[in-house]
Amino acid sequence: MKRTSLLLRTLLLTATVTASLKADILLDTGAIAFDGTGPTFTSRPFRDSTPSDWSTAKAFPGLAGAVGPFFYTTITIPLATGAPVYVQVSTDDPFGTVFVSAYHTSFTPGPGFPTGANYLGDAGLSGNPFGNPGFFQVIVPADAPLVLLLTRPTPGVGSPFAVLVEGFADSNFAPLPEPMAYGLSLSVVGVAMLVRRKRNGGVA
Amino acid sequence: MKNLVRIVTTAAVAAGLAAQAQQIPQATLDKIAEVGRLKATLLPEEQKMDSALLMRTLKAQGRLPAWLADITDAPAGAATVEIRGTVSDSLVQLIHDVGGTVQSYSVGSGLIQATIPSYEVARISQSADVRQISTNSGATTNSYSPGKVHPLIRMQDPLYQRWEARKLADVKNRKWNRDLPMLASNGLIPAIFSWFADATGIAAVGALTSQGYITHRANYVVNSLGYTGNGVKVGVLSDSASAARVAALIASGDLPANTVVLPGQEGPSTGSDEGTAMMEIISDMAPGAQLYFATAFTSVNSFAANIIALKDAGCTIIVDDVSYFSEGVFQDGPIAQAVNIVTAAGVTYLSSAGNSGNKTQGTSGTWQGDFVSAGAAGGVLTGGGLLHNWGGTVVNVLTLASGNPITLKWSDPLSGSANDYDLYILNSTATTIKRVSTGFQSGTQDPFEVVSGNGLVAGDLIVSLLWSGAPRALNLATNRSRISINTDSVVFGHNAAANTVSVAAVFWNAARRGTVPFIAGSAYKTESFSSDGPRRIFYQPNGTPITPGNVLIGTNGGQVLQKPDITAADGVSTKTPGFNPFYGTSAAAPSAAGIAALVKQVRPAYTPAQMKAALYANSLDIMGTGVDRDAGRGIAMADKAVAYALSH
């Protein structure tokens, strides 16, 4: 088991973020929480109750409207694969306000809101159905990084949640090739996009 | 009216209730007593009717007091009824003569389902061949999926209330005029998916696979041991499997090309295609198995007949996810008896345990125990009847209202109840009677009362009384509602029959470990809604008492069945719309059936008992240590079951 601590600028870590616990696990954040000091959106993706899955591409659901502020951050997971990766994202959010969306390659926000550029999918819902982690599936194109966008409104700041990301070679949960899994264990990077945008004076 | 006998009233109970004697105002008690007096005036043919048909008939005749007429449905143009008795040519002819239609019948079960003009109910019930005539109280599948849950459940379940509130907030605050042009101008909607065209050919087995394939280690059995369920026919019963959906899933590779829907048995056109979602799960677990489907949603008769039909089609594993609210609790009814027939012929039968909650996680909506009279302290019913003491109070508060029917059953034999219990629903202040079920039991009827759940709300009060006869074990089932005073023993009917493998549900990722094999211990627990056991029965299928003269729980009458038997994965991915994810014991049952199909390929000659031994062998112990009321023998695992079969 290999553990890699990540300094997430907008995430207050209450447990060490771990990567590549098993061959198929690309990211296991453990319990983390927004600390209320990061950038915000005025809106976030619309929750349409439809989780994306590996069988059908999901269109960007649009925005929920200007009811923010929504604190947000991104987590980028490079996938030097040479083949598409079947990714399954589980979010354990007992407080029910975190919303996770997946993008490929990069995430480029608009002026105060997320956009659908490079969008892959989302869970359609926040919270834990029947107390269980919610989940969704996306297929990441070959050699493209996976970018997760995490948003949470102000009332949810400080409430812990966890994100577990698994990668597979096909929709039958076949393991990723070993070299790729090994590479992933060394390359989980958090909030790269956010840091770059701050450096460039981007809109928070 | 028969005399009341053997009423249990202790000084302690009376003292405990004294402080609560005013829970039901005397004016309300007087109305309840008024119904009792009305009941004493019924004609013989009226005594055969269930409460709903009786009240409609009396309303049409102007025999109801105004307050009772107000809460009674107006007679409908036609009524779909279940007629119990002797299925004779003359009775069938009579149904036709009055303008009715026989929809199904079973001579062996003595049951006819028919549609008849409402004003002819009394004429039908006058037939000497009719023992009882009642409305169809309905059925439910045992799925629990955000896209499919009963609308009223969705509205009133706190989980859905939170989801819906957030969703509505999103809708309310969404600015379409601003957002959509922006998204379109940015080219954000369709273009980004172009690469999917290349990716679609990658999927190995169907577009989506159940996570249970991994968590139950079916992948090991399929890939490493080479058993796929090949040569095994698995029958599925649910609400529906439409031809269009079956064809689409065959095309996507999510169902095998040789999938068969029995002719005319695809189910109602208004069905949800839950049957295809179930078949998908089985196909994921045992990709070599051939799948058959027949609906369970037409009627009790049809359900029982289709169980037999699937056996006749060659299915050696059969699984369903349907519960009829009227099924016997303490004795096998027609569906459970069909299970007995096919299991005697070598079929392994599995069923969902149900989604009505459990005592361990505080979600039970069931009360089961012996009748205890509240005595005079509970309130006086002038003219007869004794209120039931639920446990220090004569009212049981509905704390969550699902909209499903609420049933009361007791430990008399089916078609042979001579003890007459009634069921009432009051508003939260007990000043208004909202529902009444006061069917007559004089020795030939079922021990069964039912009220509609429509319009009931949290805070309503449930009252039961013994109108005449002796104390019996009672079972109050709110069917996914919740009540303030509750017990275990939620699972009932064929879902809990002795010859059924009753399946509880565990979310595939309940331990937050990802898509990895289940492990024993405390990391996994059953779903909060998964119905618990055990199931006590008092009668053999033919109505013979198991312990003659002892039909009470307090004196350990009858027999206790360990139900549910095993636990399997739910919350899994399927491609059937509305079932992704697919929650509920409806999803768990086919997960277990898939394992059974793998075992059956290894040992085609296995009897149901041998199959059970394989499924139970080295199952993963969760919840209580050892066999328990929530998970039974624990989580069934494909690798362990097949390993057992290979060595036994």
Give the number of beta-carbon pairs within 8 Å between A and B.
158
- Is residue A174's pLDDT more than 90? yes
- Is residue B203's pLDDT more than 60? no
Region at B548 (left for phi over 0; alpha for psi -120 to 50; beta for the rest): beta
* Beta carbons of A171 and B507 less than 8 Å apart: no
Residue B481 backbone phi and psi in degrees, to 5? -85, 180
* Beta carbons of A96 and B170 less than 8 Å apart: no
pLDDT tens digit sequence for B611-644: 999 999 999 999 999 999 999 999 999 999 999 9
Beta A99-104 vs A146-153: how paired, if at all?
antiparallel
Q: What share of chain B is helix, strand, coil (3-state, %, to 5)?
A: 30, 20, 50
pLDDT for position B493 = 98
pLDDT for position B145 = 53
B43-136: CATH superfamily:
Peptidase S8 propeptide/proteinase inhibitor I9 (3.30.70.80)
pLDDT for position B205 = 52
Q: What is the topology classification, in CATH, of domain B1-41+365-487?
A: Jelly Rolls (2.60.120)
Residue B407 backbone phi and psi in degrees, to 5? -120, 150
**How far apart are the CA of A27 and the nearest CA of chain B, in angstroms?**
11
CB within 8 Å of A103: residues ≥ 6 apart: A117, A118, A119, A120, A146, A147, A148, A149
**How far apart are the CA of A150 and the nearest CA of chain B, in angstroms?**
17
Length of chain A: 204
* Beta bridge pairs of residue B474: B369, B410
* Beta carbons of A65 and B172 less than 8 Å apart: yes
pLDDT, greater one: A180 or B133: B133
> Which chain A residues have a beta carbon less than 8 Å from that of B528?
130-131
Give dist(CA B217, CA B219) in Å, integer: 5
Compare all CA atoms of chain B with the CA of A171 and give the residue at the minimum distance.
Answer: B203
* Beta carbons of A22 and B516 less than 8 Å apart: yes
* Beta carbons of A60 and B183 less than 8 Å apart: yes
Mean pLDDT of B61-87: 90
* Beta carbons of B202 and A171 less than 8 Å apart: yes
Tokens encoding B524:
């996994």
ipTM for this prediction: 0.85
- Is residue B191's pLDDT more than 60? no
Q: What is the mean pLDDT of chain B?
A: 88
Compare all CA atoms of chain A with the CA of B254 and give the residue at the minimum distance.
Answer: A55
> Which chain A residues have a beta carbon less than 8 Å from that of B147?
49
From B274, B196, B189, select the one nearest B239 (Cα to Cα): B274
pLDDT for position B41 = 93
- B181, B550 in Cβ contact below 8 A? no
Tokens encoding B485:
């005073």
**How far apart are the CA of A20 and the nearest CA of chain B, in angstroms?**
12
Q: How far apart are the first and last CA of chain B?
A: 60
**How far apart are the CA of B611 and the nearest CA of chain A, in angstroms?**
27
pLDDT, greater one: B400 or B172: B400
- Is residue B90's pLDDT more than 90? yes
Interface test with B, best of A49, A55, A81, A97 (most B CBs within 10 A): A55
Mean pLDDT of B465-469: 95
Q: Considering chain B, what percentage of its residues have pLDDT values greater than 70? A: 87
pLDDT for position B215 = 98
Mean pLDDT of B71-86: 87
Question: Would you list the domain boundaries of chain B?
Answer: 1-41+365-487, 43-136, 212-334+494-647
- Is residue B201's pLDDT more than 50? no
pLDDT tens digit sequence for B396-407: 999 999 999 999
- Is residue A30's pLDDT more than 50? yes
> Which chain B residues have a beta carbon less than 8 Å from that of A64?
169-170, 173-174
Give dist(CA B571, CA B567) in Å, integer: 13
Radius of gyration (C-alpha) of chain A in whole angstroms: 15
> Which chain A residues have a beta carbon less than 8 Å from that of B193?
57, 59
> Which chain B residues have a beta carbon less than 8 Å from that of A57?
193, 196
Interface test with A, best of B214, B573, B582 (most A CBs within 10 A): B573
pLDDT for position B14 = 47
Interface test with B, best of A161, A173, A176 (most B CBs within 10 A): A173
- Is residue A14's pLDDT more than 50? no
**How far apart are the CA of A118 and the nearest CA of chain B, in angstroms?**
6
Interface test with B, best of A49, A89, A171 (most B CBs within 10 A): A171
pLDDT band with cut points at 50, 70 and 90 for residue B439: very high
Which range among B107-111, B305-309, B520-524, B558-562 shows the weakest confidence by mean pLDDT?
B107-111
- B328, B414 in Cβ contact below 8 A? yes
Give dist(CA B633, CA B628) in Å, integer: 7
pLDDT for position B186 = 34
Give dist(CA B69, CA B117) in Å, integer: 20
Q: How far is CA A54 from CA A77, B1, B272, B369, B597, in A?
A: 19, 65, 22, 48, 26
pLDDT band with cut points at 50, 70 and 90 for residue A37: confident
Residue B467 corresponds to which amino acid?
W
pLDDT for position B382 = 79
* Beta carbons of B176 and A62 less than 8 Å apart: yes
Nearest to B514 among A25, A53, A170 (CB): A25
The widest CA-to-CA distance across chain B, in whole angstroms, is 81
* Beta carbons of A60 and B509 less than 8 Å apart: no
Three-state DSSP state, A36: coil
* Beta carbons of A166 and B213 less than 8 Å apart: no
Nearest to B580 among A53, A110, A139 (CB): A53
pLDDT band with cut points at 50, 70 and 90 for residue A23: low
* Beta carbons of A90 and B166 less than 8 Å apart: no
Residue with tokens 């969306």: A101
> Which chain A residues have a beta carbon less than 8 Å from that of B166?
47, 96, 125-127
Compare all CA atoms of chain B with the CA of A111 and give the residue at the minimum distance.
Answer: B182
> Which chain A residues have a beta carbon less than 8 Å from that of B213?
172-173
pLDDT band with cut points at 50, 70 and 90 for residue A82: confident
> Which chain B residues have a beta carbon less than 8 Å from that of A51?
580-581
Strands of A3-61, DSSP E: 11-13, 25-28, 32-34, 40-41
* Beta carbons of A65 and B173 less than 8 Å apart: yes
Residue B171 corresponds to which amino acid?
V
pLDDT for position A65 = 75
pLDDT tens digit sequence for A98-154: 999 999 999 989 888 889 999 999 999 888 999 999 999 999 999 999 999 999 988
Compare all CA atoms of chain B with the CA of A165 and give the residue at the minimum distance.
Answer: B514
> Which chain A residues have a beta carbon less than 8 Å from that of B169?
64, 67
Residue B432 DSSP label: S
- Is residue A178's pLDDT more than 80? no
* Beta carbons of A116 and B192 less than 8 Å apart: yes
Give dist(CA A125, CA B168) in Å, integer: 12
pLDDT band with cut points at 50, 70 and 90 for residue A177: confident
- Is residue B544's pLDDT more than 90? yes
pLDDT band with cut points at 50, 70 and 90 for residue A192: very low
Q: Does domain B212-334+494-647 have CATH number 3.40.50.200?
A: yes
Neighbouring C-beta atoms of residue B253, cutoff 10 Å: 18
> Which chain B residues have a beta carbon less than 8 Å from that of A49?
146-147, 163, 167
> Which chain B residues have a beta carbon less than 8 Å from that of A137?
573
Mean pLDDT of B179-194: 28
- Is residue B156's pLDDT more than 70? no
Q: What is the mean pLDDT of chain A?
A: 78
pLDDT for position B95 = 96
Mean pLDDT of B230-246: 98
Compare all CA atoms of chain B with the CA of A127 and give the residue at the minimum distance.
Answer: B163
